[in-house]
Structure 1
Amino acid sequence: MNTSRRIFVFGLGAIGLFACTTGGGGTLGPRISSTPSDLQPVPNAGYDAWVAAFKARAAGQGISSGTLSAAFRGAGYLPGVVKRDRNQTEFSRTLEDYLAIAASDERVSKGRAAFARHRNTLSAIEAKYGVSAEIVAAVWGLESFYGERRGDVPVISSTSTLAFDGRRGVFFEKQLIAALKILQNGDVSAANMTGSWAGAMGHTQFIPTSYQAFAVDFTGDGRRDIWSADPSDALASTAAYLSRNGWTRGLKWGGEVGNGAPAGTAIQPQPGGPTFNVTSNFRAIKRYNNSDNYAIGVGHLADRIGGAGPIRGSFPPDADGLTKADRVSLQTKLTARGFDTDGTDGVIGPNSRKAISAYQSSVGLPATGDPSLDLLRRLG
């Protein structure tokens, strides 16, 4: 993954940051609801000693005592951050599953509504930076569900916890220093500097060093505020990022072959699935997140926000022999029997597997949680 902006890997084609549960249990965006108990500070003498030593190093890098005092007031060791960092599971999701989440009906409809609300701002951003307004909106949709899931973990606590933990200590100490410089600059208060559990911040989830490099004050109020309810600075910062990473004004990202795709390099991310022609702007999107699935997800969601229809090509059955229609049917039948899959998007994630296991146990079968054609037939 491109660690100039991202920090870690999540379920959606390398996508960092997002941890929102979808119907089938996929992930796409940090929740902003209640903070889990393990993301609350707990006493830790080792962490306290590390912070004391760190403050001396930070002072040597130009961080004032006032900034350090304000930043660490109320900050503390977050055990849940360490647990999440150590327990990340890297796995590949098929493009079909990825798009079922990234360009779900809900994400498309919310995206069109958000685009309509912020049309003037997005148009002004496109005029200034040359990045398609729909692309900017799509990044916003994937990163934080259009601002609904920006993350509420204090960044000073999360980055200092990870710097102290040491697994990636050098990297996270660099992020912590950058976060302190952001506070010292007056862009945001320590109390309002929140984000994902690993320190990605705001509507489009910038890590602190990327904020320093690319964030802009689009509203002209003297602050580069990517955290507030107003997404203007965050959206403009995303456009600035893409613009400075190779985006070409007026060029499409690509598209499905046979469905209005521009000339470009042909790729087939999922064997047996649709083929896409992609341009240099596809590669610019990958600078934001170095994943083909992510870049296609952004591009396709942008097209859908702009009024285009779904992917026309078909995808092959999965490793269990199930088509998407089969998986949707399986989820629907399980839910109807009282084994709730928390949605019927055709993505077999943790919620669906839990429901399958519960059903299997109820009828005396081994509780494997694995979907199958036999299971679908058994459900009738």
Structure 2
Amino acid sequence: MAFMLQTAPSLLNVRQPLLITAIAAALLAGCATRSEPPTAAVPEPAQPAKAEQGTDEAAMESPIQASNFAHWKQEFAPRARAAGISERTLRSALAGARLQPSIVRLDRSQPEFTRTPWQYLDSAVSAQRIRTGKLKMQEYAASLQAASQRYGVPAPVIAAIWGMESNYGSNFGSFSAVDALATLAFDGRRAEWAQKELIAALRIIDNGDIDAAHMISSWAGAMGNTQFLPSVFLQYAVDADGDGRRDIWGSMADVAASTANYLASSGWNPGEPWGVEVRLPANFDYARTELSTRQNSSAWAAEGVQSMNAQALPAMAGASIIAPAGARGPAFMVGSNFRAILRYNNSTNYALAVSLLASQLAGNGGVSAEWPRDLGALTREQTRALQTALSQRGFATGAADGVMGPATRAGLRQYQQSEGLVADGYPTLELLQRLQAGNPSQKQ
């Protein structure tokens, strides 16, 4: 192995309450001794029991919920068996899964306070993360270069994903993936998704890639150095060191190859950069700063878009301009490789953080333009108020969910255009206050 396997105390070896043990025994009583799935058709299993919606963490720790969880495992077993999961894995992993009330709390909580793009990037692309990343790239140069040559993804990009996902292997969670996904499936808020991921996790165990005790994940079931969900692991994880196991927990060769394979399969183009910071012309229409607006970099150059160093823009097909902080902040031209990173995590801030971290790991500089640090981020409640105010004035934003998605940005841009403002779609407290007051906004 390229580095020490990170382990946590097994969450599956703790003595279970007698009630769970008794019901688990009933679950296993009918298990056959052979590991192959039955050849006869399996009837459609009954719908598994679910946790009561809205229950708090204390209620999830009650003996009643423990009993319900044990019953849920008993009813879920036929579905796993029908999917081809062996009786051995049902006995070793599913029957021993423990209800984790803290996971329910984490899944239901939404932080009220959000961060601005520059606050996010200050943390994600910190000086410490850059220094550590450069050291890790030296330490694991052979694995990173092998993955880069095999899949066409630059080593700094692979390392940047690793740094973002698990801080270079120092933090990839403290939960059993089986515990986490079984708890989420039982809770019911995302039951169908969690059940599918749980079956995928059991299949990984069945395949011999790792055992349940060492299948460490985040509370949401994202596993190992790469933070792959089990379904993603089954599709993209790679056994690069040839030991017969796809080990994203303890083999750097497997970690690097699996990450590169995911990006390559997501459309990474070895002939293009992720993007470049740009300077926009004075008359630029900021309503076009969306990933859905695409044209060749030569067309952007013809409109007056320039690189920050006055050199020619890199050749990129289907390039977009983004301005994460609106008209007062930096702008970037991004292409297909930026979108490949978005496939890993569908957040513009995340993809930009990976891209900027990779650039600095490769020895390049950071962002040149200044961020508008005098502006604060709207809270979720303020964003909901903004969405409501826009809708009341006839600018569609979709549901008032407190999230600044494409529909809300489009509605805000329409409002800004109606007021003669720069239509950058960036939410500010001033815009919210003027909307709520019903007063026309002053031009920016």
Give the structure-1-normalised TM-score.
0.71
1:195 maps to which of 208, 217, 222:
217
Equivalent position of 1:66 in the other structure? 88
Tell me if structure 2 keeps the 8 A contact 1:132–1:250: no
SS of the residue aligned with 1:276? strand
Equivalent position of 2:375 in the other structure? 319
Tell me if structure 2 keeps the 8 A contact 1:35–1:152: no
Residue 305 (str. 1) matches residue 361 (str. 2): yes
Q: Output the CA distance in 2 between the equivalents of 1:193 and 1:295.
A: 27
Q: Output the CA distance in 2 between the equivalents of 1:265 and 1:32.
A: 42
2:350 maps to which of 282, 294, 300:
294
Deviation at 1:191, TM superposition (A): 0.5
Tell me if structure 2 keeps the 8 A contact 1:203–1:227: yes
Q: Output the CA distance in 2 between the equivalents of 1:202 and 1:176.
A: 16
Residue deviations 1:167-191 (CA, integer Å, cap 9, x gap): 0000000000000000000000110
Q: Output the CA distance in 2 between the equivalents of 1:173 and 1:290.
A: 22
2:314 maps to which of 245, 259, 262:
262
Deviation at 1:32, TM superposition (A): 8.8
Tell me if structure 1 keeps the 8 A contact 2:10–2:213: no
Equivalent position of 2:142 in the other structure? 120
Q: Output the CA distance in 2 between the equivalents of 1:154 and 1:275.
A: 41
Equivalent position of 2:154 in the other structure? 132
Give the structure-2-normalised TM-score.
0.61
2:264 maps to which of 219, 223, 243:
243
Q: 1:77 to 1:224 in 2, by over 3 A?
A: same
The residue identity in structure 2 corresponding to 1:236 is A
Q: Output the CA distance in 2 between the equivalents of 1:34 and 1:273.
A: 46
Give the 5 Å matches for 1:347-362.
none
Tell me if structure 2 keeps the 8 A contact 1:265–1:278: yes
Residue deviations 1:242-271 (CA, integer Å, cap 9, x gap): 101110013110121215763543221111
Tell me if structure 2 keeps the 8 A contact 1:163–1:169: yes
Q: Output the CA distance in 2 between the equivalents of 1:243 and 1:64.
A: 32
The residue identity in structure 2 corresponding to 1:299 is S
Deviation at 1:88, TM superposition (A): 2.7
Which segments of 5 or more consecutive residues in structure 2 lack a partner in the other structure? 1-5, 12-56, 279-307, 378-444
1:89 maps to which of 98, 102, 111:
111
Deviation at 1:317, TM superposition (A): 3.0
Which segments of 5 or more consecutive residues in structure 1 lack a partner in the other structure? 1-30, 322-380
Tell me if structure 2 keeps the 8 A contact 1:274–1:315: yes
SS of the residue aligned with 1:266? strand
Give the 5 Å matches for 1:90-105.
92-105=114-127
Q: 1:57 to 1:306 in 2, by over 3 A?
A: same
Residue 207 (str. 1) matches residue 229 (str. 2): yes
The total of aligned residue pairs comes to 289
Give the 5 Å matches for 1:24-35.
none
Residue deviations 1:300-352 (CA, integer Å, cap 9, x gap): 0001111112211101133359xxxxxxxxxxxxxxxxxxxxxxxxxxxxxxx
SS of the residue aligned with 1:191? helix
The residue identity in structure 1 corresponding to 2:322 is I
Give the 5 Å matches for 1:150-161.
150-161=172-183
Q: 1:177 to 1:82 in 2, by over 3 A?
A: same
Deviation at 1:75, TM superposition (A): 2.1
Equivalent position of 2:35 in the other structure? none
Deviation at 1:90, TM superposition (A): 7.1
Q: 1:318 to 1:141 in 2, by over 3 A?
A: same
Give the 5 Å matches for 1:38-57.
44-57=66-79
Deviation at 1:58, TM superposition (A): 1.1
Equivalent position of 2:253 in the other structure? 232
2:332 maps to which of 271, 276, 281:
276
2:245 maps to which of 193, 199, 223:
223
Q: 1:191 to 1:200 in 2, by over 3 A?
A: same
The residue identity in structure 2 corresponding to 1:251 is E
Deviation at 1:291, TM superposition (A): 1.3
Tell me if structure 2 keeps the 8 A contact 1:163–1:170: yes
SS of the residue aligned with 1:236? helix
Equivalent position of 1:186 in the other structure? 208
Tell me if structure 2 keeps the 8 A contact 1:175–1:209: yes
Residue 169 (str. 1) matches residue 224 (str. 2): no
Residue deviations 1:169-218 (CA, integer Å, cap 9, x gap): 00000000000000000000110001101100010100000111111111
Q: Which has the higher contact order (CA 8 A, sep 6+)?
A: 1
Deviation at 1:66, TM superposition (A): 0.9
Q: 1:267 to 1:35 in 2, by over 3 A?
A: farther
Q: 1:41 to 1:279 in 2, by over 3 A?
A: same
SS of the residue aligned with 2:212? coil
Q: Output the CA distance in 2 between the equivalents of 1:220 and 1:64.
A: 25
Equivalent position of 1:345 in the other structure? none
Q: Output the CA distance in 2 between the equivalents of 1:301 and 1:33.
A: 29
Q: Which moved more, 1:39-48 or 1:143-152?
A: 39-48
SS of the residue aligned with 2:214? coil
SS of the residue aligned with 1:290? coil
